Amino acid sequence: MTTASIERAHDVADRLFEADAAVFGEDLATYRGHVHRVIGIVGLQCDVPAAVAGPLGLAAFFHDAGIWFDETWDYLGPSVRRAVAALDESDEPYSGLVSSLINEHHRLRRARHDDPLVEAFRRADLTDVTAGLIAPGVSRARYRALVAEYPADGLRPMLFKAFGRGLRESPLHPAPMVKF
């Protein structure tokens, strides 16, 4: 059932935030809201099987977390490594899915993976980063309801600050996470 699965994904992400809150500093509430909105948008787009609810919550938590954990704007690789390392034994068969959820979430075209969850995750992140301007078949009203539950305050300024870090790290390739 999707509702229970989405609730479990939120719970997994919350447990990870509780354990690593200090890593995010002043960005904690902003990133936490983004993670929860992405999970919610995924749930509005497709069925989330109970077996992948935990891996979804874990992938959502880690999808951009390399920015803070590894202090880099080239964060996809570090984020994938941390997410796969965090899988427990019961979720180990989902390491490929977790890797794809993170690796494909900034692809500008359709995700290169057969599981519809990967494409839903990619579109969910894009929807949230664009403040709902690019909507993946989810009504703006439903997106606004998620924003009311998990406020988006500070997301765009946080992203601009991180992009500035990317310009300093690699002026010739300031968006290394974007894929075509």
**Residues 35-47, mean pLDDT to the nearest whole number:** 96
pLDDT digits (tens, 9 = 90+) for 56-80: 999 999 999 999 999 988 889 999 9
Residue 1 has pLDDT above 50, yes or no: no
User: Domains of the chain: which residue ranges?
Assistant: 2-169
Contact (Cβ atoms closer than 8 angstroms) between residue 59 and residue 98: yes
Residue 148 has pLDDT above 80, yes or no: yes
Residue 173 has pLDDT above 70, yes or no: no
What is the chain's mean pLDDT, rounded?
89
State the pLDDT at residue 176.
Answer: 64
pLDDT digits (tens, 9 = 90+) for 118-132: 999 999 999 999 888
d(CA 21, CA 13): 11
For tokens 């919610």, the residue is 40
**Residues 105-112, mean pLDDT to the nearest whole number:** 77
pLDDT digits (tens, 9 = 90+) for 131-142: 888 877 788 889
d(CA 159, CA 126): 13
pLDDT digits (tens, 9 = 90+) for 21-35: 999 999 999 999 999
State the pLDDT at residue 153.
Answer: 86
Read off the pLDDT band of 91 (50, 70, 90): confident
Cα–Cα distance list, 142 to 55, 118, 128, 156 (Å): 24, 20, 12, 20
Phi, psi of 31 (to 5 degrees): -70, -40
**Residues 150-165, mean pLDDT to the nearest whole number:** 82
Residue 162 has pLDDT above 90, yes or no: no
- Would you tell me how many other CB atoms lie within 10 Å of the CB of residue 57? 26
